[in-house]
Copies of this chain bind each other. A is one copy, B any other.
Amino acid sequence: KVVLNSVRNLALLLSFNGSKYHGWQRQKNAVTVEETLSNAIYKITGEQASIIGCSRTDAGVHALGYVCNFKSNTKIPTEKLPLALNTALPNDIRTLKCKRVADDFHSRFCAVSKTYIYKVYSDVISNPLLKDFVYHFPYELNYSKMERATLPFIGTHDFSAFMSSGSSQVTTVREVIDFHVSKENNHFNFEITANAFLYNMVRIIIGTVLYVGIGKIQLQDIEQIIACRDRKRSGITAGPEGLYLSSVKYNE
């Protein structure tokens, strides 16, 4: 006798404005994206879903292409779920896509790489319209030095010098696959791809490159700062408002 399994493992592609959220992961006494999504899923399916997110994000961090997955018995067709969920979600979180995935798909463990974008606005006066969407850095930046400062980060390194304490990792070795910066007037856009990231790794790497941009850290010292694995030698932790989880890559 064949029993048809009606449980589907569903992956969602989300975009969210992180300004009002205390990050992705469910917390006591603070509104998170996970909890808000969970409430929306409950509202349209009646199910208390156990949602797996592709990564924790900090308060104020945004997402253009966040991936999460959950198992569901809902009879709502997969292709109709984005619209249904969006009616139940606040307008600072949108479901862009929904796809049925293999039962063993896990949005965090199966991720092959992630790409983050980091936006910096460099001017004496901050831009009030972008206050939640760019990191305001009021000092003049040397663009060509910053371009060169991205290069030593590419490759497989122990990134201990670029990790905030409070995280427990089996290994602090990560592979940065790509890292570059582009510029338009006073706007600097960084894009960094790695197999995985340590806690606050992007924000500390950006803070370090910005310090190269103002001459507070020398370009030729970057390799040594990576090698020394000492958080005290790297730059500031740049603010969460400039950080966007851009995309997550999975093997087909």
Residues of chain A having any CB pair with chain B under 8 Å: 15-17, 62, 64, 82, 86, 91-96, 125-129, 131, 133
Q: A91-B128, A92-B128 are in contact. List 7 more A-B contacts (CB 8 A).
A: A15-B129, A17-B131, A86-B125, A91-B131, A92-B131, A94-B127, A129-B133
Give the distance in Å from the alpha carbon of A129 to the alpha carbon of B64 in the complex: 9
Q: Is the interface of A mostly helix, strand, loop or mixed?
A: mixed
Contact, CB under 8 Å: B128 / A16: yes
With a cutoff of 8 Å between Cβ atoms, the chain B residues found around residue A92 in the complex are 128, 131
Residue from B94, B128, B133 in contact with A125 in the complex, judged by beta carbons closer than 8 Å: B94
- Bound-state CA distance A129–B129 (Å) is 12
| Chain B CB within 10 Å, residue with most, of A17, A93, A128, A129 | A128
Give the residues in chain B near A125, CB-CB below 8 Å: 82, 86, 94-96
Closest 6 pairs between A and B when the two form their complex, measured CB to CB: A17-B128, A92-B128, A94-B128, A91-B131, A17-B129, A15-B128
When distances are taken between beta carbons in the complex, the residues of chain B under 8 Å from A86 are 125
A62 to B131, CA, bound (A): 13
Interface centre among A62, A82, A131, by most chain B C-beta atoms within 10 angstroms, is A131
A100 CB to closest chain B CB (Å) equals 20
Nearest CB of B to A234, in Å = 27
The residue of chain B having its C-beta at the shortest distance from the C-beta of A95 within the complex is B125
The answer for the CA separation of A86 and B64 in the assembled complex, in Å, is 31
Q: Using Cβ atoms and an 8 Å threshold, which residues of chain B touch A64?
A: 129
* A129 neighbours in B (Cβ, 8 Å): 15, 17, 62, 64, 133
Give Cα A187 to B184, complex, Å.
19
State the CA gap A140–B185 with chains docked (Å). Answer: 32
A94 CB contacts on chain B under 8 angstroms: 125-128
Q: Which partner residue on chain B sits nearest A129 by CB separation?
A: B17
Alpha-carbon distance A62/B94, docked complex (angstroms): 24
Q: Measured between C-beta atoms, what is the minimum distance from A63 to chain B in Å?
A: 9
CA A92 to CA B93, docked complex, whole Å: 22
CA gap between A133 and B17 in the complex, in Å: 12
Tell me, rounded to whole Å, the shortest Cβ–Cβ distance linking A187 to chain B. Answer: 15
